Amino acid sequence: MTEARTPDEVKAEVLEVAQELYRKGLVEGTSGNVSGRMPGGETVCITPSSVAYLPMTIDDLVVIDLDGEVVDGERSPSSEKGLHLACYQAFPEVGGVIHSHPVYATMFALAREPVPAVIEEFVVFVGGDVPCAEYATTGTDAVGEELVKHLADRSAALIANHGMCSIGATAERALHTALVVERSAQIVWGARLLGKVHDIPDEVNTNFAGVYRWMRENGM
């Protein structure tokens, strides 16, 4: 189970994860966004709109309620706040949400093709193939509404012609999922150049999907 944390600890994690997201090359400039559910579950700490990641500070972060109204902070919340709020409203076990633009996963999003679960650890941490949500205009509530259709039994979904959303018990775990998906997308892309990509046996996929469900239900 995820241990209870203070508001300051959640804010510190959101900032650290946002900066690591940039360092790992999953976003460029001020694109993408990170959030974490605050203690009590009724508010969310989210990165601000149009602020570069590396010089970003705790004071730049914004706290919003589940209706999207600012309750703490001087800046405007990310323009993609609707995507984050849709995930928190739909899944009470989710404590962190990341919207990223990783290169290889986004290639799959442009092709509107799922990232296949052909690596064992992928199934454990993601739940199975990463589906691609139907297209919706960026910055609209429709993006979140479409994404949550695909995240009930997955920790990541592609955003058609745009990027990826990953979720987790914390923002840090959502980042781990994003990194696993991006690395797997790169490996699959390269393997397809070599020839046929072979699937994991169905029984193994089913067993590891069970591990994923247990981890998600228990906040791990």
Q: Round to whole Å and give the CA distance between 2 and 93.
A: 10
| Residues shown for the chain | 220
Beta bridge partners of 18: none
Catalytic residue among 80, 145, 146, 203: 80
Angle between helices 7-23 and 171-194 (to 10 degrees): 20
71 contacts: CB under 8 Å, gap ≥ 6: 43, 63, 64, 65
Catalytic, 80? Answer yes
- Is residue 43 within a helix (H) or strand (E), and if so which, with residue range? strand 43-46
Helix, strand, or coil (residue 175): helix
Please give the positions annotated as active site. Answer: 80
